[in-house]
Amino acid sequence: MNTIAGYLFVTFCGESPLGEQIYFSCSRDGFHWFDLNGGKPVLTSGIGEKGVRDPFILRSWEGDRYYLIATDLRIASGKGWEAALKQGSSSVIIWESEDLIHWSEERACEIAPEGAGCVWAPEAIYDKEKNAYMVFWSSYVKGKTSIYRSYTSDFRTFTEAELYLEKEYDVIDMTILQDGEFIYRIYKDEINKNLCMDRAKNLNDEFQMVETAGLSDLHGVEGPAAFPLQDGRWCVLADQYAINGGYMPLICGNPAQEPFVKVASDAYHMGEMCKRHGSVLELTQQEEERLQNYFAEDMKTNPVSITDPFWKKKVELVRDVVLPYQWNALNDQIPDAQPSYCMHNFRVAAKLTQQAEQKADYVAPTHTVNGFCIWPEDPKQLEDRFYGFVFQDSDFAKWIEAAAYILRQYPDEELEKRADDAIDLVCSAQQPDGYLDTFYSINDISKRFTNLRNNHELYCLGHLIEGAVAYYQTTGKDKLLQAACRFADCVDQHIGPEEGKLHGYPGHEIAEMALAKLYHVTGEERYKKLGEYFINERGKKPYFFDFEDTINDSIHEDTRYQYQQANLPVREQPEAVGHAVRAVYLYSGMADFARLTLDASLKQACKRLWNDITDNKMYITGGIGGTHIGEAFSYSYDLPNDTAYSETCASIGMIFFAKRMLELEQDSRYADVMEREFYNVVLAGMGLEGDTFFYVNPLEVVPEACHKDKRKEHVEPVRKKWFGCACCPPNLARLLGSLGDYIFTWKKDALFVNLYIQSKNTITLASGEINVEIQSTMPWEGLAAVHVTSTAKESFTLALRIPDWVEEWKVQGVNDAETEIKNGYFYITKVWGEEELQLEFPMEIRILEAHEKVREDIGKAAVMRGPLVYCLEEVDNGADLHLIRMDAQAEFHVEEKMIASENVLAIKGTGLRQKKKGYSGLYSSYKKKEYEEAELCWIPYYAWANRGEGEMQVWTRVEI
């Protein structure tokens, strides 16, 4: 075969009805395994004993097909071990395929010798001398288990079985590897429960025992699987059946001379399932990509109609207020707001492009490209220059993406016409070779790709792709998509691993996940390879960014480029560091490519980084980014409330990350975080009227400190109309516009309900349609109903998320179905008709405390109800909120409250207010404090700062 590009691991998973079937996993390196098909069987046997174990896969000698053979055995709900050994099946189960994707119906072939009680652990190897495949297996005959063999040319007819390997002790589970001039047989000694090895030069020669240091030292192992690594060494996987520990790898350079050495536990990952006796097939690049493309397409997003009373209002705010308001902002038409200059820049760039095409003596501008932002000397007399931040183009891209999502739900000829006209303008600014970034087009095109670290070309590319893909998917119009493809092609011509190209990557990430989308829409492999290259190249030494800038040797090697998450290769990064938005955009792209390329090591890195954020660096509101210095993650448990950065964009990025992790694996903890982000920080980022915005989302505010303390000048006590650096408002618009994409995750034959938002969804299966409608009272009450109407004749799974904020819950209306609770989802599998499920998730008021290492919150508590975090505001509780103590044992109740145009449920409870002492000086002798009773009122965090300027706090001191 060609160079090894990866591996396919074929296994079973244990003594259960579904466990004793065929599972697939993939690996790039042979050590990190990615479970395919969502961890469900790829092949199942419905014949013989209706269970299969010990599968072996091989490529035909001609290379035109694949055979998969397995033991016909079912321990679960079948024979016990003794009966299976002595009276088991005399057949093997066989499948065949031409592409590893589409497999024949299973067939049973009887191969056992006369008097055999079983046929276990079959494998096969091509015997060139016989011009046939030698199939070998374990059989119990006359009180002894030995290895038998038979020959076949088609895996349909077999020669009579003959004894192949017999010892004075029972032997089972033989595998064969060929290294150089020798053929090695590895098998299990049933007496000592370890692995033995012998060798010969031909399959039919007499074999000689070989010292097997590393293998024979192991006990309680079986089912060896041997395969060559890409560096020429051998790997043997041993199934630790005695401790139910799954497989562990051992490596050896030369089986004739070297011992097999265990791989360190932190250097391999066998996937999420506990794999049992199986085999490994080396894959060519073409085979690996075929598996990638087939299994990576499990996840699909269906158009979802949102009817939720709570959320529909938010989406309609985007339609009616935010989109037109932001369009005016992009065109500098908001009084008293800082101009954007976004569309101005496109008009100037289009003018210059036209001049270059029409004038033979055209001379391109050569303005400076130094500086992160450029402002006009006289805003009333604009020149044909670039103004604003280097990434100003991205504001248009986010606006067009939001417009696309709104048009998907609410067709609007006027909005579509405005979007088309804007697209015409943007496309007219594109350079002949596809380059499209107004900062360089206007300032100095010869300097493009000279500062990837700081100047955001690839960031603008990423947003342009995402906007173009969304607009194409909604309207079918591909003008902007073609422009995005041409820009991506231009980048691909200049950046990549090939000689003569820049070996660089984005300073501000987003291009990675955008290229995954572009690949999904176009099917062009070069976009997938470019995105994968950006991820794999990041953080390698020597650092690419050092070649763009003067190397500063005084900067510590282990911290340089942490801000850009480029201090280490992404798979080696132990924690989330640097600019929080950049980080979660990168992690989202990593999750995309872990799924697209079935890269288990990349998936493990994503999980490690996710855990670090959610376990150590996330505010109770879902906010991330503990310091304004670098808009960055701080160290673990450093979560100050009054100086929190918690950028709106960072929480939006966390939702992107959560969605993609759900596409990698169905675990409710990702949806729990997604829900917390949506209901708290994301909604807090926009005023209830839709025309004011927060960039920073603190958990404690004293307005005087915001105005007078430079350390807190990033914290605003009220929302702003707009920002010069306006990443957050259009980001909010595109997220809320696409809300329907986050409610469900669809995986082949299962629909996962992640968010209980009232909506409708239709799934098309081979035999019919399934309509799923959710009715919900959230976030105010924990009642929901799921209506299912199906014409499909096949079994289908509906998986309902169990929220992390509920202790006791009920699902009623489940009839004639298989059910299971797994990773926080309640699975219901059946052939559906027309039925309704009633869900009850009681919303208790919860009083929460932080980890003892969060110093700012010691002695304090926060209030939550359902997914909502609550806060105290001065308008309800008076000034000096720091003097309030809440009674964690008090009786709390909810009551309706109107805030601006929003009717919310507030929480009322009792507490104490410290009496003011009337100090005569700044300091005095300590005296016991006196308190007076106080009625306290908490409102949802998302609704704060909608009634004027005042104090706010999430964490309140608790009465001792």
DSSP conformation class of 241: G
Give the bridge partners for 806, in sequence order: none
Active-site residue (options: 118, 727, 728, 871): 727
> What share of residues in the chain are helix, strand, coil (percent, to 5)?
30, 30, 45
Question: What is the helix (H) or strand (E) element at residue 7, kind and residue range?
Answer: strand 6-12
Angle between helices 580-597 and 511-522 (to 10 degrees): 30
727 tagged catalytic? yes
Determine whether 916 is exposed, middle or buried from the number of CB atoms within 10 Å of its CB (0-12, 13-18, 19+).
Answer: exposed
The CB density around residue 888, as the number of other CB atoms within 10 Å, is 17
Which ranges constitute the DSSP H helices of 253-322? Answer: 285-295, 309-317
The CB density around residue 263, as the number of other CB atoms within 10 Å, is 15
Give the 3-state secondary structure of residue 555.
coil
Give the torsion sign (CA, 851, 854, 860, 866): negative
Q: How far is CA 100 from CA 104, 250, 372, in A?
A: 10, 27, 51
Nearest to 722 by CA among 697, 693, 698, 682: 693
Q: Can you tell me the distance from the alpha carbon of 748 to that of 663, in angstroms, rounded to the nearest whole number?
A: 12
Angle between helices 728-737 and 393-409 (to 10 degrees): 20
631 tagged catalytic? yes
Q: Can you tell me the distance from the alpha carbon of 743 to that of 617, in angstroms, rounded to the nearest whole number?
A: 25
Angle between helices 309-317 and 728-737 (to 10 degrees): 130
The CB density around residue 711, as the number of other CB atoms within 10 Å, is 10
Q: How far is CA 8 from CA 26, 155, 241, 532, in A?
A: 5, 21, 21, 21
Q: Can you tell me the distance from the alpha carbon of 134 to that of 131, in angstroms, rounded to the nearest whole number?
A: 9
**Tokens for 371?**
């500086």
Q: Are 474 and 405 in contact (CB under 8 A)?
A: yes
Active-site residue (options: 106, 537, 631, 873): 631
The CB density around residue 204, as the number of other CB atoms within 10 Å, is 12
**What are the backbone angles phi and psi of residue 333, rounded to the nearest 5°?**
-120, 25
Residues designated catalytic: 631, 727
